[in-house]
Structure 1
Amino acid sequence: MNGLHLTADLAGCANEDLLTDGSGLARAIRAAAEGAGLSVVGEHWHRFPDAPDGQPGGITGMLLLAESHVALHTWPEIASVTLDVYVCNYGGDNSAKARALMATMVALFAPADAREHTLVRGRLGAEAL
């Protein structure tokens, strides 16, 4: 087994409405995953309650993919988002699909700053057999 794990930490997100709109965020992320050619097999989303000062709560959620998963968490109080995309490459290389999905999600939030990281996971080559 081997795979590709992509993460991004976004700050100064201009699309602030999406940071608190659970149903809109779920639709947008699902469409982005499907648009990248990945197969959504399940999902779960949770919106946190508003803070006592009236600040809207953020959202945490994930898509379960046949290829693995997408996870994210929003912090509307600081206009930030963390993103996580992991795909296994069993039976085919899904790396380009993962990169396309991450690029779409980053663009969706329109951050002033994006810190992206890549981690190749699992055993590679003949060692995996």
Structure 2
Amino acid sequence: MKGLHLTADLYRCRCDPAWLTDAVRLGAWCLAAVESVGLEAVQHLFHTFPAPPEGPGGVTATVLLAESHVCLHTWPQDRSVTCDVYVCNSSGDHSARARELMAALVQRFQPEWTEQRSLDRGEDA
């Protein structure tokens, strides 16, 4: 079950606000980004939450990958996003693709700053 788990918390995103509120738009872009780095989407779910009193509802975008998953959660009222990319490396090392996908996600939202983490999962056989 060896793999790589990347997370990023994105703050004060300067992207078009629709990227934080439009599940269809964000989802289509996520699928294209997954394909562009050479990962394989096998299923997906894109959901816009009802608007709270303080502004528009956020989005959860989840893409199940043959290699594992990518998941985004947006908070438009804060202009923030959390990103999660996990790849298992049992059928080959997908780490470079995961890092390329995370870089594309960060670039899409144009945050003023990020907090990123990388975790190697599992043990060597």
Residue identity matched to 2:85:
V
What secondary structure, in the 3-state scheme, does the structure 2 residue paired with 1:44 have?
A: strand
Is 1:48 matched with 2:40? no
Structure with greater helix percent: 1
**SS at the partner of 2:63?**
strand
Shift of residue 45, structure 1, vs aligned partner:
1.4
Q: Secondary structure at the match of 1:61?
A: strand
Aligned to 1:34: 35
Q: Secondary structure at the match of 1:34?
A: helix
Partner of 1:70: 70
Aligned residues: CA RMSD: 0.9
Normalised to the residue count of structure 2, the TM-score between the two structures is 0.96
Q: Which residue of 1 aligns with 2:101?
A: 101
Matches for 1:13-32 after TM superposition, within 5 Å: 13-15=13-15, 16-32=17-33
Map Cα deviations across residues 51-75 of structure 1 (whole Å, 9 max, x no partner): 235x100001200000000011000
Identity %: 52
Query: Any gaps of 5 or more consecutive residues in structure 1?
Result: none
Based on CA coordinates, which of the two structures has the bigger radius of gyration? Answer: 1
> How many residue pairs are counted as aligned between the two chains?
124
